[in-house]
Amino acid sequence: MKRMITLALVIGFAFSAATQAGLILVVSDSYAPGDASNTDHCDDPLVGFLQSLGHTVDTSGMGKAMREGANSPWAVGNEAKLAALNNADLVFVSRRTDSGKYDADRKGWNELATPVILMSGYLTRGGGNNKWGWHTSGSGNAALTEDSIVVEAGQEGHAFLTGLMSPVDAFDWPGDPAEAPKALYLPNTDGTSAGTVVGTFDGRDALLDIPAGTDLDALNGSTDKYGVTGARRAFLGHWGYDNPGTYDFDDFVTDAGGLLMANVVAEMIPEPATIALLGFGALALVRRKR
């Protein structure tokens, strides 16, 4: 019954407004659909999901193409990569990213004048951690003893939660632990997150809304390390891809979890880009492989 109610909400919301699609650049260590150079295609469903929302997806940031060093968008000779990031309506940083390969460019990512959605809890680390500083502490495993994101008091009407009620049953872990991911990697409970905490999972911050102009150095007590957010930022924690090539982005994600992701994408893209067309993408996540 709960599943049917969710589907009804999704379908109704899909037709709530006429909209215009945006350009989303995906950053991932998984390889792009159709790229036969590597077998890691865990984020093919992510690309399909975003396309099903009506968006155009730029996959030039996939396949480790935006890692620090020679591939860095901020390295001399890679001006086209930086231009692609700046020209996008939204940058979507997948959970399938090795956080140690993106931290040297932290100020560039933070000060980018394009909205960013981040799904890697590892990259939220701040304080003494050399990541992106969206949180003042480290990150760690959130146990998979529950499957819901609990909405913080006062955040029930947040745009990220359109058509949803607390708790959001975002995941459906299999009964056999051997078939499940290890954990969700989320900010530790001994620190403070930037922006507004919209929802938590296992007591850890799992859904954040960070406005443009947030001074991440002031948050972390640092100087010229993390920078100031150049546009709006959102963190939505996603489970880990423990076996690349076996697990996919949409495994263990429910209809409600799909609608939550679609809401965040729509809200993060500036007008006049997509505000709705969300239901189609959420419906694409209806199939659950496990």
**Residue whose token pair is 């799992």:** 206
Residue 153 is predicted with a pLDDT of: 96
* Beta strand segments in 150-250, E: 150-151, 184-187, 196-201, 204-210, 233-236
CA of 254: how far to CAs of 181, 226, 245, 273, in Å?
15, 34, 21, 26
Residue 124 is predicted with a pLDDT of: 97
Is residue 50 classed exposed, middle or buried when 0-12, 13-18 and 19+ CB atoms within 10 A define those classes?
buried
Q: What is the pLDDT of residues 169-228, one digit of tens each?
A: 999 999 888 888 888 999 999 999 999 999 999 999 999 999 999 999 999 999 999 999
* The 204-210 sheet, strands edge to edge: 56-61, 23-27, 90-93, 116-118, 233-236, 204-210, 196-201, 150-151
Residue 62 is predicted with a pLDDT of: 98
Residue 272 is predicted with a pLDDT of: 59
Helix, coil or strand: residue 149: strand
Q: Report the Cα 227 to chain-centroid distance in Å.
A: 20
Nearest alpha-carbon partner for 11 in 274, 249, 284:
284
Residue 276 is predicted with a pLDDT of: 43
Angstrom distance (rounded) from CA 267 to CA 162: 10
Hey, how many other C-beta atoms are within 10 angstroms of the C-beta on 256?
29
Residue 285 is predicted with a pLDDT of: 54
Over the chain (290 residues), what is each successive 10-residue block's mean pLDDT?
Answer: 40 42 96 96 98 97 98 98 98 96 97 98 92 96 92 97 96 89 92 97 97 98 97 96 89 96 96 50 50
Residue 274 is predicted with a pLDDT of: 42
| pTM for the model | 0.89
**Residue whose token pair is 């929802």:** 199
Q: Phi first, then psi: what are they for 183, rounded to 5°?
A: -175, 175
Residue 271 is predicted with a pLDDT of: 75
Helix, coil or strand: residue 121: coil
For residue 57, what are its two tokens? 């997806």
Helix, coil or strand: residue 92: strand
HEC profile of 39-60: CCCCCHHHHHHHHHCCCEEEEE
Is residue 82 classed exposed, middle or buried when 0-12, 13-18 and 19+ CB atoms within 10 A define those classes?
middle
